[in-house]
Each structure stands twice: as C-alpha cells, then as structure tokens.
Amino acid sequence: MYNGLIEKVAFVRLILEIRVTFMGSSPVPRPGQMGTSVYVELGNGKNFIFDMGPGSIANYLSAGIPFNQINDIFITHLHWDHVASVPYAYMFGGWAGRWHESFRVHGPSGRTEKHGIAYMMDRMDEMLTWHKDSFDIFPIGEGWNLDVNEFDFADDGGVVYENDGVKIIHWRQSHTQDGASAYRLDWNGMCVAFTGDGRPNSLTLKYAKGCDLVITEVQVELMAISAGVNGVSPMIGRMTVDTSHNPGYAAGYLFNEIKPRLGMTTHMSYDAYSNPELLAQIREKWKGPFHFGAPDMIVVNMTPDKVWVRDGVIAEYSNVAAPKFDVQSQGGLIIPPAKYNRSDIQQESIRDAEISPKKYYPKGYAPERIDEWPTKKPLFIPAEAMNKSED
Ligand SMILES: [Zn+2]
Ligand SMILES: [Zn+2]
C-alpha cells in the first residue's frame, strides 16, 4: 500500500510538470548561444519546439533528444535566425528513423501568399531536392512528408493546435512586416507564452494574461555601446530596435502588466557588459520573479505551485541518442524500404572509380558491406526481438 502511494504521487508529479529549455537564445549565433529556440516538454510526453534558429539543433542533440523525435515546430516568423535549423532537422530526422510520421511545422500566413510559412516550406522542400534524393537510398518511409499548418496571421487569439488537452493560440506581433506572431500554450491549468520577436504589444497583454511563464525577446537599451560591440552602425542599431524589437524597459513593463509567476527574456546577447544594465532596465517596472532565458540550456521546471530554474549541462562533443520508436502499437518495428539504389541516381563510372577496399583494408579484413538497402519490401522486427537486443 505504501509503495502504491509513492507510485501515485510520482505519477501525479509527472503529469503536472512543464519543462522549458532554451535550446537557442540569440539572434546572432555564437558558441554558447545558438539561434533562438524554446523547447517545451509536457508531463504527458508531448514536446513542442518554438522557433529553431541556426545551430540550435546541436543543443537538442546534445540534450539526448533523438533526431527522429524532433518534430512539432511552431515558427513565430520567417526570419532566418528563427528557422535555420528546420531544414536540417527535416533531413536528418528522416534518415535517422522518422519513418512513420510526417514532419510537422506550424506558422503564420503573411501579407501575400509568398510571405506565408507554406510558401517558405514548399521552397525549402524544393531546395532540398538533391539532399532528399541522396538520402532516399536509405529507408525514409514517411520522413519526407511535410505537414505544414499555416494559420491566418491576423486571426488574433486563433487556435493553432488543440490536442490531448494542449491548446496553442497565436496573435500578431509588430515586427517590421505582417506575419510575425506570438504563441501561448495552455495545458493542465498551466500556461507558457512566447512572444517571438516584436515591439511591446498590447495584444500580448491581452492574450498572455494569466500565463505562468512569459518569455519575451529583448534588446538592451544601450544602443551606441551594443552597436559598437556587435559591429553595427548605431543608427541601424537604433532603428532595428525601434521598428522591430523589445527594449529592456518594455520587457519589464510587459511582465508587470501580465504578472507571470516567472518572467524571462531571450533572443539577447548574454554579455557581462550588458547583463547588469539590462536587468536594471527590466527591474524599473517588474519586481517579480525573473531570469534570463540565456545563455543556451537554461532549464525551467514548472508545476502548479512551484517554478525553478537550473543551468542545463551538455557535453561539448556529444553524440546522438538512438532513435525512439513506438513499437507497442504495431507489435514491433517496421523499417520501410528505400526508394533508390545508388545506380538509380549516380553515374556508374564514379562508382567504378572508387578505390577497391582490398587496397586500403588490412589483409584478411573484409567487412560485410551494405552497398544497397537489402530489400524492396518493408522489414519487420518483432518487439520481443528488439527487447532481447536491448538486454
Ligand atoms: Zn530574431
Ligand atoms: Zn525577427
């Protein structure tokens, strides 16, 4: 009975927890700060990615998230510092076992058809023609199925996603041109809002109201100095903030109006010269709980009555976790066939020009090579056999 109680308590804790990790925290990628990406994991096992800037994929992989589990990406807007890791995750996730699932991307429409996420993802798919065909000598299955959910950017408060008790809505952000969006995720009575990029916005006050964790982008109000540090002309720096971004003072204002359980800023340069000044600017209006969502791997855990922050630690030269498969529903693992052999997509003469393995392998060493995927039919590995190999 005692054990039963412990199990029950553990179960409840698992269910009622949200974990947020800053997998990228800067508009300009640099070691320690990749392009913006906020990873939200729920206690029900569902995970969501908000933006996926350049280099952020490295932090996902280092954190032990298998390639084939990187999915359900919500893009706030189509600036490259929020999107660059998407094509990489799309390609390598398919190769590394995303065989039975589409790659799912959500994002806003724009002021014309060409400014929407569907247009961008369609062109991304086209851009990847060589890559996709090349990887099609391996099992891919449904890995190249691109499932794009484009919502009407102007439909403030509209629902982008609703499933398993998770609801995600969006609203407009003022960020140079139409289409920039903010998101709010609600689950089990808890809420995380992420504004993406944009000027301080009254719509954020309206739609992020009541949120436990509010994450906004920020720029420190030190234009001349930070322009110099970042190699930007002060006038361009000033105008970039005034047309597109959220100054530190404004972040404090937003937090104080919304009064979250924790306010956080990201998409910022985490620098010794500017952090104290930025904090002072935020503190001008907001006296409540605050933490920088930078540098990378800041981790927030949140339950209905507690929220705490830790520094996530990842190995510098990490390796990739094995793919995770749902073997239960099918009774095993189905490996799809490959679409091509190399002979379908490559000149024979360049294969003939390959140096014979006999010339470089030691004498007596001749590995059993796999030059093409051995079957044109799906392979089935029963769950029992997989469990056995794990033992
Ligand atoms: Zn940005
Ligand atoms: Zn932007």
Domains of the chain from N-terminus onward: 14-311 (3.60.15.10), 332-390 (no CATH)
Write out pLDDT tens, residues 363-379.
Answer: 999 999 999 999 999 99
Write out pLDDT tens, residues 269-288.
Answer: 999 999 999 999 999 999 99
Show Cβ contacts of residue 3 under 8 Å, excluding neighbours closer than 6 positions. none
Distance 212 CA to ligand 2 centre (A): 24
Using a pLDDT cut of 70, give the percent of the chain over it. 95
Q: Which residue has the tokens 């679409």?
A: 339
Phi and psi of 5, rounded to 5°?
-65, -45
Show Cβ contacts of residue 25 under 8 Å, excluding neighbours closer than 6 positions. 33, 34, 36, 266, 267, 268, 270, 293, 294, 295, 296, 298
Write out pLDDT tens, residues 68-80.
Answer: 999 999 999 999 9
* H/E segment holding residue 387: helix 383-390
Distance 226 CA to ligand 1 centre (A): 16
Distance 181 CA to ligand 1 centre (A): 12
- Ligand closest to Cα of 175 equals 2
- Ligand closest to Cα of 244 equals 2
Distance 130 CA to ligand 1 centre (A): 29
Look up the pTM and report it: 0.94
Distance 175 CA to ligand 2 centre (A): 7
The mean pLDDT value for 184-202 works out to: 97
Whether residue 15 has pLDDT greater than 80: no
Distance 79 CA to ligand 2 centre (A): 5
